[in-house]
Structure 1
Amino acid sequence: MTEVPGDEALVQFLYRAPIGLIQTTSDGTIILINPMAAQLLMPLAPGGTMVNLFEVLKAVAPGLRDLASARSLPGDLVCEALPLLLPHLGSGHGATQVLGLHMTRMDDSTLMACLSDLTVAAQREHQRLEATLHGQKRIDALTSLPNRMAVLERIQRLLARRQDEPGLQFGVLLVNADRFERINVTLGHAAGDEVLRLMGSRVASAAWTMGRAAAPGNPPPWQHGSAPTNSCCVSMRWKVMRLTRPSSRTGCSAP
């Protein structure tokens, strides 16, 4: 096995590294760039000309040159995970490629940068945020129960299932707060909100053994004419009994 000198081994490692590595002078002139960095930067240099890193990144990081000039001490961090949104190539409508740039000043005349492809991570974060927003739109902010939109979607799914499962049965129990306006008028809206939260907690607690609880609003957005089974009626009566226990919160007794 041929022994490779230390400096040459280091250069080989840099060229084979799975991330983009770039060494430049203080003014951005590229001294060393490995194949991965060249590949990642190619959308910003259609002609393949990569002489100055600041010029290559001018369209996506216009302030990078000034930022590097302001970091004059060896070891100073110029930027960390700076997102670079690359333009689309061709007429396709694929996901935007996102790169992350990390740059450090090595000494008075040398800068070292590394590039990584953050596209997949950015897509996952976007999907996570979309899922979070989707869920928040279907939750009542006061009671933390599924709202009208979520209830309608749930009922539509169940009705669709009945086409494939004729024996599928489900029921809807409506719980109304009679004379609730009296609480708002006599004790204030803060007390009314507390009562609604208590009701939501009790509904969720009573519903966990069978079905789901929700806060669909008034009036209810559905009508269901099928008669429930006897076991369903017994279960619903038991749940209503749990919901009507008195409460002494807000300084009064509220059913």
Structure 2
Amino acid sequence: MSSSTSSRRSTRPALEVLDRDHDRLLYDGDVRRDPPIQPLADGFTSLWMALSWYQAASVRTLGHVESVLEPRHIMPESPVFDDLLRRSETGPYVRQRLVESMDDACDLAFRQFRDRAKERLEDDDESVTIDPENERNPLMRPAFERLDTGQSKALRDLWTGFDSRREVTRWLRSVTAVTNGEKPQGAVNDLERSSPLMEALLDSESDVATLTRYRFAVSTLLPACNAAARTLRGSESANVDSDMGKWERG
């Protein structure tokens, strides 16, 4: 653990874990996770890494990542897309601006979560003190680890494509659980009405189909992931309002 991290100690270990989770999202990354988290400050090496980072950030910011970086900002037509994907000379500057803005979203998640964090007693045995560097559960909560793992698997299944229409509809049904019931209404009907989208879900070979599945994931799944992170554990997280402005380039 870095000296800066080790110096930020509190009586609530879950808050220390959350603080470390945010450092990994913004600056350090996390190779222990599957897929690994590439830090926002460094940018992403592929569409898949960008998609994975956003979903991980959704869980670790309790859905407030979208107050700074909306799903539409990682679409190919977004003005910051090339900066995020390390494809422009302005990338380091734009990503640093985003990192600085994300600090507000992280602070909001921290404040929202602090009332749920259990306090460490003064006479607790030091040998059982939680080490934020080695804690595997986001926010030190198994429920958020299950949410993270389930959403990540759903995205991976979508990314690789499906072998049959039955697999598609069964996968879509599974999305209900991993988004805490926040799957968009009418998603099955939308798929049935869109032949090009269904064809892309059944095509695991072409680059065009891969890009279509990426767009579908960003527009449909990521907003549901944000909503799930906000609603997990009930109204404690659902009732937080933010007047924070959305980040815009410029």
- TM-score normalized by structure 1? 0.24
Higher strand share: 1
Higher helix share: 2
- For CA contacts below 8 A with separation 6 or more, give which structure has more relative contact order: 2
- TM-score normalized by structure 2? 0.25
